[in-house]
Amino acid sequence: MYLDPLVALGSKAGASDLHLEPGLPAALRVRGQLRPVGEPIAAESLLSAAKEVLEGELWNSFVERRSADLGRTIGGVRCRLNILCSARGVGMAIRLLAPFQASIERLNLHPDFRRIVEATHGLVIVSGPTGSGKSSTLAALLEEVNRTERRHIVTIENPIEYALKPKLAFIRQREVGRDTPSFEQALRDALREDPDVLMVGEVREPESMRLTLAAAETGHLVLTTLHSATAAEALARVAAAFPAEIQQCVCAQLADALVAVVCQRLRFWPERGMLAPECELLLATTQVRATVRQGHFFKLPTALETGGHDGCWTFSRYRDWMEKRTDWFFPPSTPTEVCAKEENFSVPRPLQVAESNPTAPATPRSRRPSEKDAAREKRRPDDGEVLSIEDAEEDLDRIVSELKRK
């Protein structure tokens, strides 16, 4: 219950992330920049919130590992939580997921992305830096399969971020740590579950990469994510994860299984008042397969530049297409008329630590009703609107003070 008003506040302010740390104000990431709001939060409040979220075995696992990753719906908003121990106590990093069902149209992706999931088997990699929307793009690709084909979709995630609703497809979602002990075990299980489409949240270890490649080679369409800055770097990372003596064999496997690599980053468009993914799309053409088979990943940027007629996209060509686009989808939770106002997102104040012991509850500020308060009450936005950061600060002050008094 402690997190509900904070997450709701972040959602109304159009934030992508909410950071909570003992002794510091809550920090919202809006348009890629952190904005502290309200007063410092007491360590006891965050500890109680963590215990409320992590019940039973999850709490025991957190005590042992000092961190936990999970997905929850908080205050009506689907969130991905990372709960951690820091020098000040128990903190949280909360990713606020899109309030709508992800799709190619709603994420403002190019229609060519539909071609990726038309393949019946092979490997699709979605890459990019942390926070670039890889999970949303994966969910959009799965939704495209879900609404057009009668396939069996199995997802392996940590945690489950988007709850997929079956339409034409039969969908089974498994969460690592809750439904299966590891990605490796879930991948071995999945090959016995008659899947047509297999989504692996992230591959990091060589064993999970090997099993992912094996699944793509044996007649399944496999979608997964990697952290990389370019499509070429993503493929190079897969090969480099294996011992040098077998990398040539891995490159051959990768060339045979590859369908496409998407690399994306988020870009803010001031004239539209929203973030949208800017992508690089590498399709497995004959030239690309030959280059990957030889392990000459440094040649892939050239293949991207010359592969426009085959459906490949470089970042620059994709940006040109976005600048000419007119049929944008605007998420209902971030109206452009609010987000486009620069005055609502002024330069953040420096983060301030509580002067007293950071683990002690902060003393609530006493506030007298004023003409400003009365004016704010009159102009308070409806539930579907976005609060300005100034209004959000005052709301958070009031919420934190009330919680401390209780």
Task: Judge whether residue 386 has pLDDT over 50.
Answer: no
Q: Which pLDDT score, from 0 to 100, does residue 406 have? A: 52
CB 137 within 8 Å of CB 223 = no
Confidence band for 364, pLDDT divided at 50, 70 and 90: very low
For the chain, what are the domain ranges?
Answer: 1-97, 111-324
Instruction: Output the pTM of the full model.
Output: 0.74
Contacts of 52 by beta carbon, 8 Å cutoff, 6+ apart: 1, 2
Q: Which pLDDT score, from 0 to 100, does residue 90 have? A: 94
Mean pLDDT in the chain?
A: 83
- Residue 178 to residue 160: CA distance in whole angstroms: 10
- Residue 140 to residue 135: CA distance in whole angstroms: 9
Confidence band for 95, pLDDT divided at 50, 70 and 90: very high
Q: 111-324 belongs to which homologous superfamily? A: P-loop containing nucleotide triphosphate hydrolases (3.40.50.300)
Confidence band for 400, pLDDT divided at 50, 70 and 90: low
Confidence band for 17, pLDDT divided at 50, 70 and 90: very high
CATH topology of domain 1-97: Beta-Lactamase (3.30.450)
- Is the fold of 1-97 the same as that of 111-324? no
Contacts of 375 by beta carbon, 8 Å cutoff, 6+ apart: none
Q: How many CB atoms lie within 10 A of CB 206?
A: 15
- Residue 26 to residue 17: CA distance in whole angstroms: 10
pLDDT in tens, 240-256: 999 999 999 999 999 99
CB 300 within 8 Å of CB 235 = yes
